[in-house]
Homo-oligomer: A and B are copies of this chain.
Amino acid sequence: MRGEPLDAETIVSVTEELLRRHGPEKTTVLDVARALGVSHGSVYRHFPSKVALREAVIQCWLGRMREPLTAADQGPGSAPHDRLRGLLTAMVATKRAKAKEDPELFATFRVLAKEHSAVFSAHVDDLLARIRAIVVDGIASGDFAAVDPDVTARAMLDATCRFRDPGYAVEWSTPGIEAESDAVIALILDGIRARPSERSKRPRPR
């Protein structure tokens, strides 16, 4: 960009800005090159196709979406119940915050989700793995019932869909939405708690 060496990060950042302002239809590799003041060949040197460039932008955005999740989980030292509540609450809070702070980009990524579903599936797999890891720890410590961690992680993600799925974004600004998501999270956390009679068993995680 005007003398500076062009790096992938700069291209991704400029592409994101164009997507935010003009939407996916009007953000081609040529548009990106123009905004950077370089030839489209310079962009293609970093990203072999428009698809590859867009996927890099989505990856970057989803990566930022996951940062608060990593921060929310205090790790195996804390009580599994608190860790899981922290993770699930952060999942819905981050989505809500992104939709509110940057509605244009949020809407853009909703459109892109249909065309680049594999990238979004990988993100969902990451969320499932995070829930699963805490469930496994909680079973091992005897805090959680001896559930199937995969089935339970999926059920927890499903049960919170009203607060995570962008299709419901219009409902996220209604008053009481936070109390409603807290109620669902509390219900599913109670659902996984070990019964006192099970606590002594301390089953091993699968």
A residues with a Cβ closer than 8 A to B are 145, 151-152, 154-156, 158-163, 167-168, 179-181, 183-184, 186-192, 195-197
User: Is A195 a contact of B192 with CB atoms below 8 Å?
Assistant: no
User: Is B197 a contact of A155 with CB atoms below 8 Å?
Assistant: no
Ranked 4 nearest A-B pairs via Cβ: A191-B191, A159-B159, A190-B191, A155-B183
User: Is B191 a contact of A151 with CB atoms below 8 Å?
Assistant: no
Additional A-B contact list (8), CB under 8 Å, known A155-B180, A156-B187: A154-B180, A155-B184, A159-B160, A159-B184, A188-B188, A190-B191, A191-B191, A196-B196
Q: Name the B residues within 8 Å of A189 (CB-CB).
A: 191
Nearest CB in chain B: distance from A125 CB, A: 15
Nearest CB in chain B: distance from A175 CB, A: 14
User: Is B159 a contact of A187 with CB atoms below 8 Å?
Assistant: yes
User: Is A192 a contact of B187 with CB atoms below 8 Å?
Assistant: yes
Within the assembled complex, what's the spacing in Å between the Cα atoms of A161 and B151? Answer: 17
User: Is B167 a contact of A162 with CB atoms below 8 Å?
Assistant: no
Q: Name the B residues within 8 Å of A160 (CB-CB).
A: 159
Most buried by B among A160, A168, A184: A184
Q: Name the B residues within 8 Å of A180 (CB-CB).
A: 154-155, 158
| Among candidates B145, B167, B168, B196, residue contacting A197 with C-beta atoms closer than 8 Å | B196
Within the assembled complex, what's the spacing in Å between the Cα atoms of A186 and B148? Answer: 12
Within the assembled complex, what's the spacing in Å between the Cα atoms of A151 and B152? Answer: 22
Q: Name the B residues within 8 Å of A183 (CB-CB).
A: 151-152, 154-155, 158
